[in-house]
């Protein structure tokens, strides 16, 4: 949207000037204000296409501004630009209606990309409304545009999930990249089993966010170099419930939340937190369990080097029917060591969650569950 009007709200003058200068150079018309109260006044005085706001500000903070903006104009996208590296605040902002969440310091390309997506989203929403007003004459065009709009909304959600996965990697450096890799492997296993495409998206989200509850585990436990005490192990086990509690409140993540809750369940019922067994465990969690073990065993750890694919294969075969669903194990074993070694090598660093739909389907698949 060339010439789009952007309101920049930040109590730091230097940040306001940097952001407005960068965006003005891209052809946008920028207005700057130092706090939320003045932002509301500016919005009421003149229409804007996008708002970029800090969270911690005098007079009116960014969260209050976001809620008042939503009451005044439900369509204007709001991007929170903040130095607060707090996952709970990020999720609160998303639930309150923020379009995106950018952490300071940020690269200019990241700013341009986020702004561009937000403005494109606004354009699509406004166009879709126009189509709806002329429904009788524009049925075909409206349907196509609605499909594009929904796709873009899904992408917006998934960009946010990718950011949350990055935040978890930053907190738990020992398993950096694990979320991305295990998602790729889970998707591939699900495709070998011919899982329905719509269900595949939920499985992917559940796999990607499986450890998000660890954001609620104290660093002294999460990063402890030695063995955990019994109390610390109990605390660590709570990450399944913590992740589920966070995600179940977000409508488009309800199915993924069930996978997050069940990703430590064992097929024979000896896992946690609910002691589910066999088909009581969500299919996505059963597929994830095999992918997670494969990635864990074939990745370097501070206490050992990565093990060969053959070792992971033997472990997964050994615990079929105990820890793992035999049907998922069958799918895994249907491919050779060289196949999995090649997959492991070519996942990428990092594998981008949003690319999973572009991955090639796997031929000669085994039967679906």
Query: pLDDT value at position 313?
Result: 95
pLDDT number for residue 349 = 46
Residues 175-223 have pLDDT tens digits of 557 778 888 899 999 999 999 888 888 898 899 888 888 888 887 887 7
The answer to whether position 184 is within a domain reads yes
Output the domain CATH number for residue 97: 3.40.50.2300
Identify the residue with better confidence: 70 or 323.
Answer: 323
Closest by Cα among 355, 361, 364 to 336: 364
CA quadruple 253, 256, 257, 262: dihedral, nearest 10 = 180
Q: Which of 109, 130, 157 is the last residue of a domain?
A: 157
Residue 367 pLDDT grade (very low, low, confident, very high; cuts 50, 70, 90): very low
- Give the CA angle between residues 167, 172, 174 to the nearest 5°: 135
Residues of the domain holding 139: 5-157
Helix then strand then coil, % of the chain, to nearest 5: 60, 5, 35
Same domain, yes or no, for 127 and 275? no
> Same domain for 147 and 212?
no
- Whether 144 is in a domain gets the answer yes
Q: Do both 104 and 206 map to the same domain?
A: no
State the burial class of residue 138 (Cβ atoms within 10 Å of its Cβ: 0-12, 13-18, 19+). Answer: middle
Write the CATH number for 331. 1.10.3210.10
pTM: 0.54
Residue 169 lies in a domain: no
Average pLDDT, the chain: 83
The verdict on 193 and 324 lying in the same domain is yes
* Exposed/middle/buried for residue 171 (C-beta within 10 Å: 0-12, 13-18, 19+): middle
Q: In what order do the strands lie in the sheet with 78-82?
A: 29-33, 5-9, 50-53, 78-82, 100-103
Total count of domains within the chain: 2
Residue with tokens 């206490």: 303
* pLDDT tens digits along 135-145: 666 566 656 76
* Strand, coil or helix: 264: coil
pLDDT in tens, 225-261: 778 888 888 888 999 999 999 888 887 788 899 999 9
Same structural domain, 301 and 199? yes
- 195 in the same domain as 147: no
């Amino acid at each position: 949207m060339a010439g789009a009007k952007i309101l920049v709200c930040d109590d730091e003058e230097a940040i306001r000037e940097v952001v407005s200068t960068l965006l003005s150079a891209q052809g946008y018309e920028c207005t700057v204000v130092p706090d939320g109260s003045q932002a509301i006044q500016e919005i009421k005085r003149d229409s804007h296409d996008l708002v970029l706001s800090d969270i911690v500000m005098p007079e009116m903070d960014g969260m209050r501004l976001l809620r008042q903006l939503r009451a005044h104009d439900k369509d204007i996208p709001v991007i929170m630009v903040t130095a607060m590296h707090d996952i709970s605040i990020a999720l609160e902002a998303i639930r309150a209606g923020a379009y995106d969440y950018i952490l300071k310091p940020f690269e200019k390309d990241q700013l341009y990309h986020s702004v561009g997506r937000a403005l494109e989203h606004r354009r699509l929403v406004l166009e879709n409304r126009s189509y709806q007003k002329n429904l009788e004459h524009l049925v075909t065009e409206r349907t196509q545009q609605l499909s594009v709009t929904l796709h873009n909304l899904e992408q917006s959600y998934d960009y946010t999930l990718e950011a949350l996965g990055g935040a978890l990697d930053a907190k738990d450096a020992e398993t950096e990249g694990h979320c991305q890799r295990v998602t790729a492997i889970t998707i591939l296993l699900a495709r070998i089993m011919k899982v329905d495409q719509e269900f595949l998206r939920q499985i992917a989200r559940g796999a990607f966010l499986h450890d998000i509850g660890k954001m609620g585990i104290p660093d002294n436990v999460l990063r402890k170099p030695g063995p955990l005490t019994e109390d610390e192990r109990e605390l660590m086990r709570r990450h399944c419930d913590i992740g589920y509690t966070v995600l179940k409140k977000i409508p488009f993540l309800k199915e993924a939340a069930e996978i997050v809750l069940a990703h430590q369940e064992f097929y024979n019922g000896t896992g946690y937190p609910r002691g589910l067994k066999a088909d009581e465990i969500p299919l996505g969690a059963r597929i994830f369990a095999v992918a997670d073990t494969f990635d864990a065993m074939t990745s370097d750890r501070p206490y050992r080097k990565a093990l060969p694919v053959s070792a992971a294969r033997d472990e997964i075969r050994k615990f079929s029917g105990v820890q793992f669903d035999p049907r998922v194990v069958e799918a895994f074993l249907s491919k050779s060591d060289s196949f999995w070694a090649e997959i492991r090598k070519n996942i990428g660093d990092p594998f981008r969650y949003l690319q999973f739909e572009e991955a090639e389907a796997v031929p000669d698949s085994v039967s679906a569950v």
